[in-house]
Amino acid sequence: MKKNIIISIIIFSCLSGYLSRLCAQNTKFGDNLYIELGAGAQMLFSKNNSQLSFGHRLTPSISLTAGKWFTPIWGARLQVQGYSFNAMSNQTGTFTAGINNYDPASSFVMIHPDGSYRRDLRYINPHLDLELSLVNLLGGYSTTRKWDIIPTVGVGYMAVFKYKGVPQTNSVSGNFSLMGKYIVTPNWALNIEVQSSIYPNKFDGRKTVTRIDNNLAVTLSATYTFSPRAFKSKLKSKAVNCVQEVQMIEAVVPIEKTLVEAAPIQTVVEKIFVESNTPKEPFVLCSILFPLNDAKISKDQMVQLKNVADYLSHHKSATVNLEGYADKATGSSDKNMNLSIKRAMAVAELLIDEFGVDRSRILLQPLGDSIQPYDNSEWNRVVLIRAN
């Protein structure tokens, strides 16, 4: 049995590792890590348990989780869940701890006239799960979205402790859940999770005619993400010197005058761009301003993004660097850094989704309030788009 448990965990670990490398080769291990604490109620479904009243079947469920999102769609988590079950029993079946089919647990409780009695179980069920963001899968990743639906599936190690005559047993468990998540801040989220685990019928030291037992749990939990979710597999980051800037020199060159019969002389003027003799350095194409504590782009600024897309279309080797800033006069440094990340990502998503810019030509540099490019505080709520 222990050999099967070890093999199952190794296979599952290899699978989750392969998926993480396949989906996000440029994501560092320290990115997008989170911890989660939850509590709720659960119910065991096993032989004779229907004889218990609904209130007596409910027991507490506690969970502690550590996980990581490798991409906006795929993640993995290690969850330790458990506490207690109330199980109803009688003298039928096979008891692994007793002699002559006697159940030692019957000595700790009152036996009803029909021969039934309650067994108290204490257990822990650590399990490794794959998680899937359905909303990001179906609707695309967005840094401003507040909610998500996350199904999980995994394998675990069900350990029942020796307690009140119930023997210690260990077995493999299968684990499934569906979570609804509401993102309160970039670091905090609240969740409600419906979870079920399955395990061999003999997990509690009693073997009956059924092959498997299972439970159903509903828990409320809080998630803390150590850093805002960012996925470098989509948008690469590159630092540039924000004080280096050189302008392209626009020259207006008149073409020859043309005389058209019975019409006035017309001058045809064409604008061309002439590079200066100085070396090429990043220069500002345009700036996108944002409201206070917000990362939404107003419709009247879309024309600037259209101009950026046109520039990239005409300059095939060019890339753009999105420098995200926040107003130092409002908010903490951590909050402003998170805000600058959201602003840069919002500009990137519009360039990609609305104007068809290749994501490999977009570079991100969130700077928070570490640098203030303008004296006017309101102007520093900005993303500067530099051409490289």
Asked whether the beta carbons of 125 and 64 are under 8 A apart, the reply is no
Domain check: are 158 and 240 in the same one?
Answer: no
CATH number of the structural domain spanning residue 293: 3.30.1330.60
Regarding whether 139 and 37 lie in a shared domain, the answer is yes
User: Do 179 and 241 lie in a common domain?
Assistant: no
Which range of residues forms the domain containing residue 319? 236-246+278-387
Q: Is residue 263 part of a domain?
A: no
pLDDT tier at 180 (50, 70, 90 boundaries)?
very high
pLDDT tens per residue across span 220-229: 999 999 876 6
Please give the average per-residue pLDDT across 353-371, as a whole number. 91
Q: 133, exposed or middle or buried, with CB in 10 Å at 0-12, 13-18, 19+?
A: buried
Whether the CB-CB separation of 305 and 350 falls below 8 Å is answered with: yes
Higher pLDDT, 64 or 259: 64
Mean pLDDT calculated for residue range 344-353:
92
pLDDT exceeds cutoff 50 at 26:
no
- Answer yes or no: do 134 and 185 share one domain: yes
Q: Which of 161, 190, 225 is the last residue of a domain?
A: 225
Q: Is residue 195 part of a domain?
A: yes
Give the pLDDT confidence score for residue 388 in this predicted structure: 84
Closest by alpha carbon to 123, among 82, 166, 173, 176? 82
Contact 296, 290 (CB under 8 A): yes
Tokens representing 331 are: 């908010």
If asked whether residues 94 and 178 sit together in one domain, one would say yes
Mark 17-55 as b/e (b = at least 16 C-beta within 10 Å).
eebbeebbeebeeebbebebebebebbbebbbbeebeee
Reported confidence tier of residue 17, pLDDT bands at 50, 70, 90: very low
Residue 253 has pLDDT above 60, yes or no: no
Task: Let me know whether 137 and 284 are in one domain.
Answer: no
Residue 254 within a domain: no
Helix (H) or strand (E) holding 13: helix 2-23
What is the distance between the alpha carbons of residues 379 and 326, in angstroms, rounded to a whole number? Answer: 9
Question: pLDDT tens across 315-329, in order?
Answer: 998 999 999 999 998
Q: Please check whether residue 196 lies inside any domain of the structure.
A: yes
Q: How many domains does the chain fold into?
A: 2
Assess whether pLDDT exceeds 70 at residue 233: no
Residues 122 and 57 in one domain: yes
Helices (H) and strands (E) in the chain — how many of each? 5, 17
The confidence score (pLDDT) of residue 22 equals 44
In a domain, 179, yes or no: yes
Q: Do residues 119 and 153 both lie within one domain?
A: yes
- pLDDT band per the 50, 70, 90 thresholds, residue 29: low
Whether 256 is in a domain gets the answer: no
Please state which of the ranges 17-26, 202-211, 371-380 shows the lowest mean pLDDT: 17-26
pLDDT of residue 227: 73
pLDDT of residue 36: 97
Mean pLDDT taken over the chain: 82
Question: Residue 15 pLDDT > 80, yes or no?
Answer: no
194 and 71 fall within a common domain:
yes
How far apart, in Å, do the first and last CA atoms of the chain sit? 60
- Identify the pLDDT of residue 279: 43
What angle, rounded to 10 degrees, do the helices at 333-353 and 302-314 form? Answer: 60
Domain assignment present for 258: no
Residues 242 and 383: beta-carbon distance below 8 Å: no
Pair of tokens at residue 360:
């490999």
Q: Looking at the domain assignment, is residue 170 inside a domain? A: yes
Q: Which two tokens stand for residue 352?
A: 């990609």
CA distances from 368 to 133, 236, 239, 326, 338 (A): 28, 17, 13, 5, 7
Q: 111 and 68, same structural domain?
A: yes
- 204 with 126, same domain: the answer is yes
> Does residue 282 share a domain with residue 215?
no
Provide the CATH number for the domain around residue 109. 2.40.160.20
Tens digit of pLDDT for each residue in 92-107?
A: 888 988 787 889 998 8
The span from the CA of 198 to the CA of 200, in Å, is: 7
What six digits make up the tokens of 380? Answer: 């520093």
| Residue of 160, 81, 158, 88 lying closest to 122 (CA atoms) | 160
Find the mean pLDDT for residues 167-176.
96
* CB contact set of 318 (below 8 Å; sequence gap of 6+): 311, 312, 361, 387, 388
Q: What is the pLDDT of residue 134?
A: 95
How many residues are listed for the chain in this entry?
388
pLDDT over 50 at 114, yes or no: yes
